[in-house]
Structure 1
Amino acid sequence: MPGRDSGHTAGAFDIRSVIALLFAIYGAVLVVVGVVQPHAEIEKSAGVNINLWAGVGMLVFAAAFVLWARLRPIRVPDEPAETGEH
């Protein structure tokens, strides 16, 4: 029986990495929009800079996914599993 550390990690092909990248890109765009938008636009949302806060939230979410993928990587076996057929 192979050990838990046999095989290699999924790395960049881990779906959590892809999701983190997408959230980081959208979050960065929202942070930039939130910083440069005029004060009149902020007043339309009850005085809350929603673009800035949503962008920061998305960046935090992306960081959590990256941390999760680093701490608990998915292991891919080096050899295909036997199916039991002869």
Structure 2
Amino acid sequence: MEGQEADEELAALAKAIGHPVRVKILRILARRESCVCGDIVDELPLAQSTVSQHLKVLKDAGLVRGTIDGPRVCYCLEPRTLRRLKALIGNL
């Protein structure tokens, strides 16, 4: 994929990681196999609702995935999308 479509894909992914908190969340998830949202909240000086909003942006962009585990949602990185982001940046 080249040209306009690739540019739009890169812009959407860049927008998703365009906030320092979302970059920090990705780093937290990279250190673990999976993560419960509460564990992420414990590592950030933010309210649960704020962390959830950032996770939603990352999930909507396909950078993380969440699986429901009873009353909790466990989040982990989506390696395929991260590889795609690296490839798009490498083609700049």
Normalised by the shorter chain, which TM-score bucket?
Answer: 0.3 to 0.5
* Greater relative contact order, per chain length (Cα 8 Å cut-off, separation 6+): 1
For normalisation by structure 2, the TM-score amounts to 0.33
For normalisation by structure 1, the TM-score amounts to 0.34
